Chains A and B, each alone.
Chain A
Amino acid sequence: MKELLKKLSEEFGPSGYEDRVRSVIREYIERDLPKNCEIAEDRVGNLYFHVINRDKPRLMINAHMDEVGFMVKGITEDGFLRFGCVGGMNPLVLGAKRVVSERGIKGIISAKPIHLLTNDEKKQLPKVDDMFIDIGATSKEDAEKYADIGDYFIFDSGYVEYGDGFIKCKALDDRHGCAIMCKLIDAIKQGADTEYDLWFAFTCREEISYSSARCASEYVNPDYALVIESKAVQDIYGVDDEKKVCILGDGAIVSFMDNSTVYDKDMVNKLISICKKNNIPYQLNKYISGGNDSSAIQKSICGVRVGLISAPSRYIHSRANVVKYTDLEAMYEIALGLIKE
């Protein structure tokens, strides 16, 4: 899975521009397509892999393809790019970071050196409106050759393995979910049986709204949904235990509640029993925070029973998301267990 995870995570795909990620996934899941499976795309850009089992209850497994990024909203007279954030980001993690555009243009996000900060500025969070992308242009005219209003940029930050099974890359949120789903599809192709009319939905635009997941749910009309996600955690030095949320390496997170969703009790219990039965490491969330596609899915159509498994992730929505490989393996095992139930 690591090779696929690297390829997916390094691919360009901010919210609204998932095309390249979608084609990588499509190419991967299309190989040796079994007769009882089909692939589909909808109008908003969601990609589906369907294991046809028409009379069975319908389960949708979903992960989002998009990542946080930036969009150019203006060019200054001296050739710097004004930008807005696509998805929620802490302005502190932006300064002096390398970025790259959809056309492959490299840039640096401007940041004042400490020598030039006033005492007031030192105390305040920087504002995105005061930042620019520096692409090395010398004038507006020069810059316009390389970038245009509406162009996307993302963090330019590659896949690195370090320490005891830790992985760092941009966009691990939620490409690891996409990678897990691709591997589940491999398992199906290799003969894993399922008791569900099973849909895998690779969705768009999670980082800016949950509307694409709602479309996916209306397209599939599932009885049950399992969302595979990243969960922001703070298991680092100096944070009180009750605010760490979860710990990297302690297993997949099975959530009972976050800011957007109270998860279906039967789904939560089922996921936990799969973990216990198969000795899969798991942890419950120890702080209530964040939200994801499951809220839109749960409320869609006449209501859907929804569960969530997520990878504990440090430094989420920055150039360096960090996850631990063993947690991803645990998530794969839980999802596989659910499919087979």
Chain B
Amino acid sequence: MTELLKKLVLTSGVSGREDKIREVIKAEAEKYADEIIIDPMGNLIAHKRGKGKKIMFASHMDEIGYFVTFIDEKGLIRVGNVGGINTLSASYSEVVSERGVCGVALPSDSNEVPKVDALCIDIGARSKKQAEKRVSIGDYFVHAPHIKRLYGNIYTGRPLDNRIGCLVLLEALKNVKPTDNDLYFVFTVQEEVGLRGAKPVAYRIEPDIGIAIDVTSAGGKPTSPKTKVKIGGGVAIKIKDASVICSYEIVEKMRELCLDSNIKYQDEILLKGGTDTGAIQTAKMGCLVGALSIPTAYIHSTNEMIDISDVKEAIKLTCAIAERI
């Protein structure tokens, strides 16, 4: 599992440019799915056929980052942000482009937390001409991907949002027991720029039940938001976030499945931020939705943090939903 996690984390793909990460996921999903579909927006659908309930699982594969918009006379690179950048963490951190060019993200003023359009990238070029040899307008940059085990089950790295969800989905696809249910494991695009990818897939699939898998903010750290969700406290069952109020029968059912199968869980209400759950719920004629989350600290920073035991519980719950909901 950790080998796969490493591969998922170390392959980049900013919102709208998910080609590379999609290839990695496709190579893995192909081994277990009956059918693979890539839709016009680039969503990857791994289908495991059945005659029962149509269940769509969705985990987004895109990550936040930057598009190059301008290269100045000194060779500094101006960028536009893709998704919500934590500019405090981004300042002076390593970034890398789609072509593998490394650089440092710089704030324009070293004394305050920069606004996102005050960030630029230094790739070490000394002139516009030098920079243009390695970077073009429209290229994307992401924060340098990495992953490390810290203490016990605790891992840090980026982008764990949401490659960890992709891992859960792939492991569930691999381990799910034979079932009547008609299962769709979907790896969505463009979640970080406003849940843009999930709706067209849900329109195509018309699921009875939609389940999103994503990270959620964990509490208990000096900088974390007020929430009872804890790293190591088990998989989180979403009740609501800014994009969705989950269908209550699904929330109840997920709790029951956890109790039946001895899965460690905690309830989650996320005050800020949305997930694909909201887009799936309102696509076409609507469907029942729920979401399970991996408690994560320092989301969107250059060092996101998780407990791998929560991930294991999330895989168990995903399989249980697929087999028995």
B286 close to A (CB within 8 Å): no
A306 to B283: give the CA distance in the assembly, Å.
Answer: 20
Q: Which of B38-78 contact A (CB under 8 A)?
A: 39-41, 43, 67, 69-70, 72, 78
Of B16, B41, B81, B138, most buried by chain A (CB within 10 Å of CB) is B138
Q: Which residue of B lies closest to A284 (CB)?
A: B137
A304 close to B (CB within 8 Å): yes
Contact check, A223 vs B138: say whether CB atoms are below 8 A apart.
no
Q: With A257-B67, A262-B16, A303-B43 in contact, is A268–B82 under 8 Å at CB?
A: no
Q: Which of B19, B41, B82 contacts A298 (CB 8 A)?
A: B41
Q: Which residue of A lies closest to B73 (CB)?
A: A241
Q: Which of A255-280 contact B (CB under 8 A)?
A: 256-257, 262-265, 268
Contact check, B16 vs A257: say whether CB atoms are below 8 A apart.
yes
A298 to B72: give the CA distance in the assembly, Å.
Answer: 32
Per-residue 0/1 for B128-159: is the Cβ within 8 Å of any A Cβ (1 yes, 0 no)? 00000000011000000000000000000000
B293 close to A (CB within 8 Å): no
A326 close to B (CB within 8 Å): no
Shortest distance in angstroms between B19's beta carbon and chain A's nearest beta carbon? Answer: 7
Q: Count of B residues near A, CB < 8 Å? A: 27
A305 close to B (CB within 8 Å): yes
Residues of B within 8 A of A242 (CB): 69-70, 72, 78
Q: With A256-B138, A262-B17, A287-B69 in contact, is A301–B200 under 8 Å at CB?
A: yes
A299 to B284: give the CA distance in the assembly, Å.
Answer: 12
Contact check, B16 vs A302: say whether CB atoms are below 8 A apart.
no
A300 close to B (CB within 8 Å): yes
Contact check, B196 vs A298: say whether CB atoms are below 8 A apart.
yes
A262 to B17: give the CA distance in the assembly, Å.
Answer: 8
Q: Which residue of A lies closest to B138 (CB)?
A: A256
Contact check, A286 vs B82: say whether CB atoms are below 8 A apart.
no
Q: Which of A290-312 contact B (CB under 8 A)?
A: 295, 298-305
A295 to B196: give the CA distance in the assembly, Å.
Answer: 9
A288 to B40: give the CA distance in the assembly, Å.
Answer: 23
Residues of A within 8 A of B176 (CB): none
Contact check, B199 vs A299: say whether CB atoms are below 8 A apart.
yes
Q: Which residue of B lies closest to A262 (CB)?
A: B16
Contact check, A265 vs B19: say whether CB atoms are below 8 A apart.
yes
A256 to B70: give the CA distance in the assembly, Å.
Answer: 13
A283 to B40: give the CA distance in the assembly, Å.
Answer: 25
B190 close to A (CB within 8 Å): yes
B248 close to A (CB within 8 Å): no
Q: Which of A263, A286, A295 contacts B70 (CB 8 A)?
A: A286
Contact check, A262 vs B193: say whether CB atoms are below 8 A apart.
yes
Residues of A within 8 A of B137 (CB): 256, 284, 286
Contact check, B200 vs A262: say whether CB atoms are below 8 A apart.
no
Q: Which of A189-238 contact B (CB under 8 A)?
A: 223
Q: With A288-B80, A302-B200 in contact, is A256–B40 under 8 Å at CB?
A: no
A257 to B69: give the CA distance in the assembly, Å.
Answer: 10
Q: Which of B70, B82, B204 contacts A302 (CB 8 A)?
A: B204
Per-residue 0/1 for B5-44: is the Cβ within 8 Å of any A Cβ (1 yes, 0 no)? 0000000000111010000000000000000000111010
Q: Which of A239-254 contact B (CB under 8 A)?
A: 241-242
Q: Which of B17, B41, B69, B72 contacts A303 (CB 8 A)?
A: B41
Residues of B within 8 A of A295 (CB): 196
Q: With A298-B41, A299-B200, A303-B200 in contact, is A257–B70 under 8 Å at CB?
A: no
Closest 5 CB pairs of A and B: A262-B16, A288-B80, A303-B200, A303-B41, A242-B70
In the complex, besides A285-B69, A300-B200, A305-B41, 8 extra interface pairs with C-beta distance below 8 angstroms are A257-B16, A262-B15, A284-B138, A295-B196, A299-B199, A302-B200, A303-B39, A303-B40
Binding site for B on A (CB under 8 A): 223, 241-242, 256-257, 262-265, 268, 284-288, 295, 298-305
Sample of 25 A–B contacts (CB below 8 Å): A242-B69, A257-B138, A262-B15, A262-B17, A262-B190, A264-B40, A265-B16, A265-B17, A265-B19, A268-B138, A285-B69, A287-B69, A287-B70, A288-B80, A288-B81, A295-B196, A298-B196, A299-B196, A299-B199, A300-B200, A303-B39, A303-B40, A303-B41, A303-B197, A303-B201
Binding site for A on B (CB under 8 A): 15-17, 19, 39-41, 43, 67, 69-70, 72, 78, 80-82, 137-138, 190, 193, 196-197, 199-201, 203-204
